[in-house]
Amino acid sequence: MPHVDATAAMTFDERYRAIDARDVRFDGQFVTAVRSTGIYCRPSCPARTPKPANVTFYPTSAAAHEAGYRACKRCLPEAAPGSPAWDLRGDIAGRAMRLIADGVVEREGVPGLARRLGYSARHLARLLTAELGAGPLALARAQRAHTARMLLVSTDLPAADVAFSAGFASVRQFNDTVREVFGLSPSDLRARRPAAARTVSAPAAGTIDLVLPYRAPFDAAGLFAWMRARAVAGVEDAGADSFARVLRLPGGPVWFAIRLDGAGKLRLSARLTHLGDLPVLVSRVRRLFDLDADPTAVDAALSAHPAVAPLVAATGGIRVPGAADPHEMLIRAMIGQQITVAAARTALTALTAELGERVAPHDGLDRLFPTMTAIAEHGAEVLRGPAARIRAVTGAAAALASGALELGPGDDSLAQREALLALPGVGPWTADYVRMRVLGDPDITLPGDVAVRAGAAAAGLPADPRGYEAWAARAAPWRSYLTAHLWRAAPTTAIRAPRARTAPANGALDDRDHPDDPHCRRPLHAAHR
């Protein structure tokens, strides 16, 4: 009898119809293992549809590997975009997959992953095996195999560099894994890459150039505009179809650039201090640009509401930007409270100019965003504005630097919110906004946001916080994308900076009602872009 993943939302019949239709929308969301051939495929594989009795669906390629299947050489399932389920799901499986993608197993081992999730290593292995068909080591191994395949077919890196860039401990381990997963040696896998991949102009010396898959439609223009409005001089630079920045990763500084080429492909160029940071970088860039989103599902769900349908028609495939660095995201959000985007960008640029670490310049970018320790110790000397806000920012940085506050993509959503709300100067808006950006939570409303309310009014939705929140419940679980549409819809003239507020006696700032319009000419909240 055909196996059905008990935790999946789709039934066996629904998945089978998807593979029979070769529906690309489901690529990356599950794999199809065929017992008669011993291979697994993406749903859109052009091969003949197997008989239902021979099919087993798995939620991850790692589960298929563990069951003894190898990847299809024709459809290359490892080349599909990642599953949107890991953002949509806030359970242990979703949190673990986000952390594994961020390289936690390579850096801290399974015990480190388990500690972050609040379980013993043994219990975590049992949970993930039950949920996903594979334990943490197998899931991390599949991640390494995916990175190796991507490098073999997209670059001319020597095999040894590919091995260590993908996170393998040795070239032998790399060779064995590639043969086991793909049924080909690394050299044979590279030889099968499409001719187009071999004719791409060579990147600059020391630069890795990759294609990042995504699901169409993709609102690239909106994302690049978002980044451009928030670019901190020296750290970031953005144009109409590109974004670049320098970023601190576990192995050292990295420069990367994202650009949309003439063929509509999203290309990542990078220079790394340590090649082993490449999987981490790819994971963070994918989160920053929301590349694993399911825009078809989002657009279909939101278009079902007549008031929102015109917004979706105008901007299909809208994305919710993530965070390249969770700690930095919190600081940027707090500094941007109740001031204009321009003012926040000025403050962040001054902070970075004074406290950011200098790096070798590349395309005009020559510094890293300051460490939390630097902000905690010297931020008060640089920051301007209300004393309560400065104390709140430096206090948050001190908590992050000391480890008293942990903030990352594997956090439990509600626990993260509670931890943030416990900080002076952090109210519901900031806590929820950080959840949206750091966790990739697709279901955040921000009912007190001025631009959301202005966009709601323009779209004919209730504009008061309580009324809007009640209406928005019907858009679950895609309320973050509704928020992005309403930011876009907010009339410029409807947004006004609020009057200065007096800090409460406890030194906290009331941030319940922050203005924001990420797409208008005069956006008013720096944290959003």
Nearest to 162 by CA among 199, 208, 201: 208
Assign 84 a pLDDT band (cuts: 50, 70, 90). Answer: confident
Please count the residues of the chain. Answer: 529
CA–CA gap between residue 376 and residue 301 (Å, rounded) = 43
Count other Cβ atoms within 10 Å, centred on residue 58: 23
Residue 456: the pLDDT is: 97
pLDDT at 192 over 90: no
Peptide bond into 477 cis (omega under 30): yes
- Look at the block and give the residue holding tokens 């000025």: 346
The 8 Å CB, 24+ separation contacts for 88-93 are: 88/442, 88/477, 90/412, 90/413, 90/439, 90/441, 91/131, 92/117, 92/119, 92/124, 92/127, 92/128, 92/131, 93/7, 93/127, 93/128, 93/131, 93/132
Q: Helix or strand or coil: residue 257? A: strand
Active site residue 209: no
Active site residue 75: no
**Stretch 293-299: mean pLDDT, rounded?**
94
pLDDT at 516 over 90: no
Is the overall model pTM greater than 0.75, yes or no? yes
Q: Which two tokens stand for residue 41?
A: 């495929």
Which residues, in sequence order, are CB contacts of 144 under 8 Å at separation 6+?
166, 167, 168, 177, 279
Residue 357: the pLDDT is: 97
Provide the pairing of β-strand 31-34 with 39-41.
Answer: antiparallel
**CB contact at 8 A, 80 and 191:** no
Which residues, in sequence order, are CB contacts of 72 under 8 Å at separation 6+?
39, 40, 41, 42, 45, 47
CA–CA gap between residue 116 and residue 96 (Å, rounded) = 9
**CB contact at 8 A, 265 and 279:** no
pLDDT at 501 over 80: no
CA–CA gap between residue 111 and residue 219 (Å, rounded) = 39
SS3 string of 230-244? Answer: HCCCCCEEECCCEEE
Residue 507: the pLDDT is: 40
CA–CA gap between residue 66 and residue 102 (Å, rounded) = 22
**Stretch 475-487: mean pLDDT, rounded?**
96
Query: Helix count (H) and strand count (E) of the chain?
Result: 24, 11
pLDDT at 198 over 60: no
CA–CA gap between residue 421 and residue 515 (Å, rounded) = 19
**Stretch 378-387: mean pLDDT, rounded?**
95
**Stretch 410-418: mean pLDDT, rounded?**
95
Report the percent of the chain where pLDDT is more than 90. 76
Report the percent of the chain where pLDDT is more than 70. 89
Assign 138 a pLDDT band (cuts: 50, 70, 90). Answer: very high
Question: Which of 4-18, 24-38, 192-206, 326-340 has the least mean pLDDT?
Answer: 192-206
Question: Which of 89-93, 237-241, 480-484 has the least mean pLDDT?
Answer: 89-93
Burial 489-524 (b: 16+ CB within 10 A, else e): bbeeebbeeeeeeebeeeebbebebbbbbbbbeebb
Which residues, in sequence order, are CB contacts of 18 under 8 Å at separation 6+?
10, 25, 26, 43
pLDDT at 35 over 80: yes
**Residue 205 carries which side chain, given as an amino acid letter?**
A
Residue 199: the pLDDT is: 44
Q: Which of 5, 41, 411, 443 is catalytic?
A: 41
pLDDT at 438 over 70: yes
Q: Which ranges constitute the DSSP H helices of 205-325?
A: 220-230, 278-288, 295-303, 309-314
Q: Which residues pair with 33 in a beta bridge?
A: 40, 56
Assign 7 a pLDDT band (cuts: 50, 70, 90). Answer: very low
**CB contact at 8 A, 278 and 384:** no
Assign 342 a pLDDT band (cuts: 50, 70, 90). Answer: confident
Domains and CATH numbers, the chain: 86-196 (1.10.10.60), 202-294 (3.30.310.20), 326-528 (1.10.340.30)
Distance of CA 189 to the CA centre of its chain: 28
Q: Nearest 5 degrees, angle CA 369-CA 90-CA 281?
A: 35
pLDDT at 2 over 50: no
Q: What is the mean pLDDT of the chain?
A: 88
Residue 327: the pLDDT is: 98
Q: Which of 5, 290, 292, 449 is catalytic?
A: 449
Per-residue pLDDT of 105-119, as tens digits, reads: 999 999 999 999 999
Residue 202: the pLDDT is: 54
CA–CA gap between residue 390 and residue 396 (Å, rounded) = 10
